[in-house]
Amino acid sequence: MGWSKCVATDMFSFFMNFPIEEKERIKTLEVFDEYEMWHEKCHHYVMIWACQGTVSVPHIFQPKILANTCFNTSDTKVKKLKWKLKQADVLLHRFGHQTVLLSPSYLLISGGFGEHEKKHERLSGIIVYDLISEKCSSVSFLDDQNLLGKRMFHTATKLHNGNIVIIGGRSAPYKANGNVIVLSRNLQSEKEQTIYSTVKTIEPMSEALNNVFVFTVQKCIAFPLPTWRHSASLVHVEGIEKIVVFGGCTANQICTDSCYVLNTHTWSWTQICSQEHSPSSRHSHSSVAYEKKTVIITGGLSGDETILNSVHAFDAEKCQWSTLQISGLLPRYSHTSHVWENYIILVGGVTSLNGFTLGIGIINLITLMAIEISSPIQDPEYPILLCNHCSCIYEDHILIIGGGGNCF
């Protein structure tokens, strides 16, 4: 069109080039916790600046090197991912929830945001999903299930005895859940109710629908710093199961680098002081236990909305942090992670790189190299959003449940 100079940037990069003071001012305009959809939306819009003559390019259009995200895309090896999409029960249509494998064939799902009585809202209670029959089983409680409340962005950790520890989350943008809740199955009551439901049923029912899950809900201890979008991983130290909780957002919308360890034998907390190699403040990262004693933390979103690609390891026996220098790993947050032999598998997430759709990232803990497997080409009208989801390793597959967010 005759312009002597023309530059373009996507809206995410445009926003990230704002001065810190301006970004902080914008954050205080209203309560906000929809980072994933905001950042994905920004990647679909472009700002273009053009001029005639000799004019300096405005600072806000210049590329910015972000701290804690040093990477070279030439080091990134990208392969293709194969997946199978399955029609899910409407009760599984949610995001910001948590899932736990109760057994090889049953999946417990708690909280999140989804549909209830034809309305979209934060969800309370739990459901149990049969992975074989692909149906939801009956759930009942022996006590007040309201202790669970409506919550999202919490964590759920299964102990060796089958109990499930639920930590944190939020019931509103400024209201963090401050108690640690323990769910326990009552096998005797389950047996009695299953027999009763079988006798009571007139028409034949599937085995999945006849299975009744009975839980007790107990409030165990207060959470020292109530947060959401934090991580929690189970480790074993001297024969004791402990849960390492790191990062997250507080009720004041502050991104934290706090680290607490919950002893599930004494139900007491230990705070881990900040160290030289501690992860920076972040939320929406992911953590997973490696060899039962080391917690691996990947990615996350910093307080200034920088998407991170750093990897940190916490030795639960020595209570010591270290930094892993991983080559080829793309920045990401709102992903999930799993251990498979000497590999960390990262599922989905949101990245800062325009044109990249995150599928699966694989970190080799021996070579400290990573490869990226991109997701299949999708229908632009009905894209699969791998963020705010949950995932688990089921047989030799990775099962992804829910995900997405509110539309802008």
**What six digits make up the tokens of 253?**
């919308």
d(CA 310, CA 68): 7
β-bridge pairing 369-374 and 77-80: parallel
Query: To which residue do tokens 């894209």 refer?
Result: 383
pLDDT of the residue at 384: 83
Residue type, 109: I
Chain segment 250-285, per-residue pLDDT in tens: 988 889 999 999 999 999 999 999 999 999 999 999
Among 296, 299, 336, 341, which Cα is nearest to 316's?
A: 296
Chain segment 363-372, per-residue pLDDT in tens: 999 999 999 9
Chain segment 155-166, per-residue pLDDT in tens: 999 999 999 999
DSSP 3-state assignment of 403? coil
pLDDT of the residue at 195: 47
For residue 401, pLDDT over 90 is answered with: yes
CA angle centred on 17, ends 30 and 9, rounded to 5°: 105
Concatenate the DSSP letters of all residues of 147-215 into one string. Answer: GT-B-BS-EEEE-TTS-EEEE--EEETTEE--EEEEEEE-HHHHHHHHHHHHHH-SS---HHHH-EEEE
**What is the pTM assigned to this prediction?**
0.88
pLDDT of the residue at 406: 85
d(CA 279, CA 174): 25
**What six digits make up the tokens of 141?**
């409680």
> Domains plus CATH for the chain?
5-61 (no CATH), 90-401 (2.120.10.80)
Q: How many Cβ atoms sit within 10 Å of the Cβ of residue 336?
A: 23
**What six digits make up the tokens of 371?**
């490869």
d(CA 298, CA 329): 10
pLDDT of the residue at 28: 83
DSSP 3-state assignment of 261? strand
d(CA 114, CA 30): 23
C-alpha dihedral sign at 22, 24, 29, 30: positive
CB 93 within 8 A of CB 115: yes
Residue type, 16: M
pLDDT of the residue at 27: 82
pLDDT of the residue at 59: 72
For residue 199, pLDDT over 50 is answered with: no
Which residues are bridge partners to 241 per DSSP? 236
For residue 140, pLDDT over 50 is answered with: yes
Chain segment 58-70, per-residue pLDDT in tens: 777 776 544 444 4
Residue type, 222: A
